[in-house]
């Protein structure tokens, strides 16, 4: 949540959330060559609907089995062989977040390399 003074504050309330931040580590890999790596994040709403808005940078990518999947956001990361790296991706959608469990999947070269869950609670009176 962004306060009036410009400071970001973390929240677990759906009605207060104005963006979702996905943070993950690319572990050190002694095989993957140094270079730019394109990473895709696919976020699904509590009802299973993909969060994807083309006007906000979403699109489709191809999985290793040849099928296409919607992605929420993508990021090109400059990877260095053997170094652990933290990646941060922000998603600001053009509608309110709904309460419930959001599924987050991370892909590289058509393969799922990570997954997680974010729970946004229903807001109270305040």
CATH of the domain at 36: 2.60.40
- Is 112 inside a domain boundary? yes
Partners of 105 in the beta sheet?
Answer: 42, 115
Neighbouring C-beta atoms of residue 102, cutoff 10 Å: 20
- Is 91 inside a domain boundary? yes
Domain that holds residue 39: 20-120
Letter string b/e over residues 68-83, b meaning 16 or more CB atoms within 10 A of that residue's CB = ebbbbbbeebebeeee
| CA gap 28, 78 in Å, rounded | 13
In this prediction the pTM is 0.84
pLDDT means per 10 residues, the chain with 126 residues, are 60 79 87 90 96 92 97 94 91 88 96 94 68
- Is 6 inside a domain boundary? no
Conformational region of residue 51, where left means phi above 0, alpha means psi within -120 to 50, and beta covers everything else: beta
């Amino acid at each position: 949540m962004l306060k009036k003074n410009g400071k970001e504050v973390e929240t677990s309330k759906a009605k207060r959330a104005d963006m979702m931040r996905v943070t993950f580590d690319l572990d050190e890999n002694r095989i993957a060559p140094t270079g730019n790596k394109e990473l895709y994040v696919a976020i699904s709403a509590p009802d299973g609907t993909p969060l994807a808005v083309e006007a906000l940078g979403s699109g489709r990518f191809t999985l290793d089995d040849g099928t296409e999947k919607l992605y929420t956001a993508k990021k090109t990361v400059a990877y260095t062989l053997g170094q652990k790296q933290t990646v941060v991706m922000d998603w600001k959608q053009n509608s309110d977040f709904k309460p419930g469990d959001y599924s987050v999947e991370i892909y590289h070269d058509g393969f799922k390399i990570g997954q997680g869950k974010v729970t946004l609670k229903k807001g109270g009176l305040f």
